[in-house]
Structure 1
Amino acid sequence: MIWVVLALLIFIFQIATILIAEFRHPSKAMAWLLILFVFPVIGFVMYYFLARSFQRRRIVRQRRIISEETRLEALRRSRLLHRPEDLGSGEFREQERMFALLQQFSLPITGCNTTQVLNNGETTYASILEAIAAARHHVHVEYYTVRDDRVGRRFQRALLDKLREGAEVRLIYDGIGSYELSAAYVRELEEAGAQVQCFLAPRIAFFDKRINYRNHRKIVVVDGIVGFVGGINVGDEYVGGNKRLGFWRDTHLRIEGDAVYSLQEVFMRDWWFTARERLTDSRYLPEHGCVGEDQVQLVSSGPDAGPDAIVQSVFAALAVAKRRIYITTPYFVPDKGVLMGLKTAAASGVDVRLILPYVADTRLVMLASLSYVEELLLAGARVYRYHKGFIHSKVMIVDGLLGSVGSANMDLRSFYSNFELNALLFDTRTIEELAQTFMDDLDDCHEIRLAEFAARPRLQKAGEIAARMLSPLL
């Protein structure tokens, strides 16, 4: 009898620990409790190693201090926008509250940029490799996934060429996203003089209880002048090399101008975190002439940050939408606020459209995504599935107010667990270009009809329910 009481007390302790630790995220708490009930001891061990908060760690506080030091230099060199009427979109004149929110984020709204939207892998790689080939002082590269394949070797050769010419090369890759990257690939770069860092290697991250936190950013900065951000990693699949997924539809962004300082700052913070090296040379933040009038704000978020900047920017944009909300995302697992924002907008007459993949790279996440479709359709939103191949773009367009291109999916992992980076774009030309590309993508989509979707098999519905319950952990 005493053993039963002891086991019950231990079980209650485990439940209480999860509830207290996750009281800010009820859906995440419920997902972990489900695992705990199914696997009473194993579930708690998994929670202990996978779900520890990042913000309590001393190294994170140090990282913020370094960020502030580099930030001051970037601000001094940038043309900053301080009033809603300064933005290219006249619609911001009526959005003082949203503008005030964006002003609170750690990276500023800059007004002296040239941007180019890059659709799909080949176009993106060509532009990045061209920029790398022109580098004189440094090349900074940060990716979630780097593969030792045909595309990966193209990147490696470009970096080796720069090293032979005397340029500095730094590379950060994520330990989980690049777990297949060969030691030989890294060794060749290091022997040539590159500095290479793995962001939270799986074995270290597991025992340090941080394996759940991944660096999902995609960053390239060349000489502090040209930068790239978006959804495309380094691998053959991004040029259609995965036979199961086929054609890979994605979106990236090339930037010249003030916003590159913000991009460099994010890289510097991540370099400090991985290498414990401060990059203080003024040539990392060089002077540049004003190359354009595009207005850009980089929005960085992650478990080390205070406010959840990306989800805040998404929610704020949804809340003020009047005409249209177009979203493309490979994974759709929103929190309650974002879901309610979409449903409320659709119910009030806003043209809400969502593009999801038809071919899934992760079956469980796709089932979780589909679990939200019926309630969106009932609210009046329109949902499409992309049939040409796999769509991996992370794009949002709201009215003529803003467009967003970046690494963050419309899911809980990107909102709260991953280190992510989005670019908010405010000039009318780029917003309309993104909107036109969205409409072009609809030509390769099948629209989901409510009656047809409601009649889907019961087994699929059951799978969607299970996946949705686990979705906070996906």
Structure 2
Amino acid sequence: MPFRNALGRTAACLALFLALGLGACAELPKDVDRPVSTALPAPATTPLGELVQQRRAAAGTRYESGFVLLDGAPAAYGSRLALVEGARKTLDLQYYAIHADASTARLLKAVREAAERGVRIRILLDDLHSTGRDAVVMRMALVPNVEMRMFNPLAGARASTLGRLFGSIDDAARIQQRMHNKLFIADNVLAVAGGRNLGDAYFGKDRKGNFIDLDVLVAGPLVQDLSRSFDAYWNNERAYPVQSLVTAKDLDQIREQARADAKAERERQAGNPPPADGAADTGASAAEVRAQVWDERPLDLRTADFVWAPAVVLADKPGKIPPDGANASADVGKAPGLTVTQTGRRPQGGAAKNDASLAAAADAAADGETVVDGLLQLIGQARSDLLVISPYFVPGADMKQAFAAARARGVRIRVLTNSLASNDAPVAHVGYARHRDELLAMGVELYELRSEQAGLGNAFGSGSGGGSAPGGSRSMLHSKVLVIDGRLLVVGSMNLDLRSQHQNTEIAVLVRSDTLSRTAAQKIDQVMREGAWHVVRSDGRMVWKAPEGSGLEDATAEPDTSAGLRAMVKLFGPLAPDALL
């Protein structure tokens, strides 16, 4: 279910409120054995390694790393299938959330098959979502040749997230800080980085709501920098082997309970068919979704349209989440550093100008303490145009200062974020809405993704059908992208919000490419024109101007939302500080 993506924000607020009156209920294991392992050298003789060399040679490029924007669900899913099926040495997966559903089931089946043919598998997963049915994913740790670790785990049973929050309540400041990175690395030569987690909602298959997202497929030496970041997290003291947290018997019981719950849900659906007019139909059945997933095909890497360009990796160090015994709340905003890395030689001749431009951008980003800080430094280098996609957009004082300074230099700034109707985390929308007037006053252009009618049910994750996403479901923005002056493109896991800036760990790829920047900008422009409300001030009030060609009327209140949802947000909004959103 898509609403689980917002659970971290809700859990953070809940944990801190509950911590005021409750004590500890459970503890994490001590003296955990964490054998150190690192990425294997990038093998040029594997099929994937040879393919990268061939594609680069055919392109006749001076640059060693190539990139493909993966802006559609088929390409995003197909790229991961291709990496799993092509891997011969290693697969490293690092994710904030892996949901136990049809899309993940097929991917993990392919991963198990890769392990059977001798591929070394490492899976690193943030621990917040590994409850209930989703805890079944942890059974991958029992597969031979697969290691799985959970980052920054919560103590307690895995029946529900709420129960685990109670179990870790005396450590609330730590548990609200999450590993938000997303990486999918094959043979240390090809990788996917960006905003997507693993699950139906990220690949256009969820029956109630799907995320609009964007990844980048990376080929060449820059992948080694992504692998070094992965290794830093894998070997960190916050990463606990699954076997230290839960037994095989426990995992078997979780699987059986998940199966029983799924059977009960199928029987419930069979006994409650939608009305004849289809008003309650939320799209394809679970069986149809599974069939659609198995119809997906791996991306043909031999014909993928790689753009070869200079690039760097921006990565938060895992120490952004403090170790056991540290005062987490005191460390917020005092991260131990940002890693900015670039592997491969610097090209000469006609390519030197692009490389020098990237070097200047990388030097600017390196002045920040976190990925988001680095991006604010990059915004300080903008001279003409800034495009931002941030689904959860909660600008703190330094973000607003960066925007104001850019506007003073004459930079046009356009931001695409979620509307209240399309936001799977209405609590995060509160943190954006309270700054909307100030942003408009400084000349920032705001666009909010259009979705279907949203009511109180959507706010609590029940969703509703009838939207524009695949299967007749809701559309929700999840991409995290910056385009600066039409030449610098950033794709990563970060939002422009205080949570990404100070608490969650993030990773991003910064590419110096006119071609990729232009492609991304064109896609963003189209969504802004045809799929988003343009928010403006008119005659002293806020107006949402309808998307081009939509046939809708302009709105003077949060569009596509019920009065109940708007009232709830207005009532509880003042109680939620920006830092927790």
TM-score by length of 2: 0.58
1:312 aligns with 2:275: no
Q: Confirm whether residue 466 of structure 1 aligns to residue 570 of structure 2.
A: no
Q: Read off the aligned partner of 2:400 and give its amino acid letter.
A: L
Distance of aligned partners of 1:364 and 1:275 in 2 relative to their CA distance in 1, 3 Å threshold: closer
Gaps of 5+ in 2: 1-11, 25-30, 43-61, 157-167, 242-305, 322-334, 338-368, 451-467, 469-474, 544-555, 559-565
What one-letter code is carried by the residue in structure 1 that aligns with 2:146?
A
Distance 1:240 1:121 in 2: 6
On the 8 A contact 1:143/1:218 being kept in 2, the answer is: yes
Structure 2: distance between partners of 1:400 and 1:345: 15
Q: Deviations over 1:403-431 (max 9, x none)?
A: 11000011111111111101111122112
Q: CA deviation at 1:346?
A: 2.9
1:385 is matched with 448
Q: Which residue of 2 aligns with 1:404?
A: 490
Q: How does 1:13-412 map to 2 (within 5 A)?
A: 44=20, 112-188=64-140, 190-203=142-155, 210-245=174-209, 247-273=210-236, 293-302=308-317, 303-304=320-321, 305-307=335-337, 308-358=369-419, 359-387=422-450, 389-412=475-498
C-alpha displacement of 1:181: 4.9
Tell me: CA distance 1:193–1:376, structure 2 relative to 1, closer, same or farther (3 Å): same
Deviations 1:99-135 (A, max 9, x none): xxxxxxxxxxx95200111013331110111111011
SS in 2 for 1:203: coil
Tell me if the contact between 2:423 and 2:477 (Cα under 8 Å) persists in the aligned partners.
Answer: no
- Give yes or no for contact 2:124–2:234 (8 Å, CA) kept in 1: yes
CA contact (8 A) 1:163 1:169 kept: yes
How far did residue 446 of structure 1 move? 1.3
1:433-472 matched pairs, under 5 angstroms = 433-442=519-528, 443-451=530-538, 452-453=541-542, 456=557, 462-463=570-571, 466=574, 470-472=577-579
Q: Which one-letter code corresponds to 1:400 in the other structure?
A: G
* Counterpart Cα distance in 1 of 2:569 and 2:439: 16
CA distance change for structure 1 residues 155 and 180 in 2, over 3 Å: closer, same or farther?
farther
Q: Distance in 2 between matches of 1:298 and 1:326?
A: 20
> Any conservation in 2 of the 1:215–1:418 contact (CA below 8 Å)?
yes
- Distance in 2 between residues matched to 1:417 and 1:248, nearest whole Å: 23
| TM-score, length of structure 1 as denominator length | 0.70
CA–CA distance in structure 1, aligned partners of residues 443 and 239 of structure 2: 49
Per the TM alignment, residue 248 of structure 1 is displaced from its structure 2 partner at its CA by 2.3
Q: Residues of 1 paired with 2:235 and 2:170: CA distance?
A: 21
| Amino acid in the other structure paired with 2:112 | L
The alpha-carbon deviation at position 374 of structure 1 amounts to 1.1
C-alpha distance 188-356 of structure 1, shift in aligned 2 (>3 A): closer
Computed over aligned residues only, the root mean square deviation of the Cα atoms, in angstroms, reads: 3.3
Letter in 2 for 1:297: V
* Cα 1:470/1:292, change in 2 over 3 Å: closer
Partner of 1:422: 508
Deviation of 1:293 after TM superposition, in Å, equals 4.0
Question: C-alpha distance in 2, partners of 1:236/1:45?
Answer: 38
1:438 partner letter? I
Contact 1:121 1:232 (C-alpha < 8 Å) held by counterparts: no
Counterparts of 1:198 and 1:136, CA distance in 2: 25
Name the CA distance, whole Å, in 2 between partners of 1:148 and 1:231.
18
More helix by share: 1
Match of 2:296 in 1: none
Structure 1: stretches of 5+ with no match in the other structure: 1-30, 50-58, 75-109, 278-290
Distance 1:422 1:400, change over 3 A: same
Say if 1:208 and 1:321 are closer, same or farther in 2 by CA, change over 3 A: same
**What is the Cα deviation at residue 230 of structure 1?**
0.3
Check conservation: 2:195, 2:214, Cα contact below 8 A.
yes
Q: Is the 8 A contact 2:195 2:478 kept in 1?
A: yes
* Secondary structure of 1:448 counterpart: strand
Alignment check: 8 A CA contact 1:216 1:407 kept? yes
Structure 1 residue 243, shift from structure 2 partner: 4.4
State the Cα distance separating 1:384 from its structure 2 match.
0.6
Cα offset, 1:322, TM superposition: 1.5
Once residues 536 and 171 of structure 2 are traced to their aligned partners in structure 1, the CA distance between those partners, rounded to angstroms, is 47
1:55-109 alpha-carbon deviations (Å, 9 max, x no partner): xxxx9xxx9xx99x989x99xxxxxxxxxxxxxxxxxxxxxxxxxxxxxxxxxxx
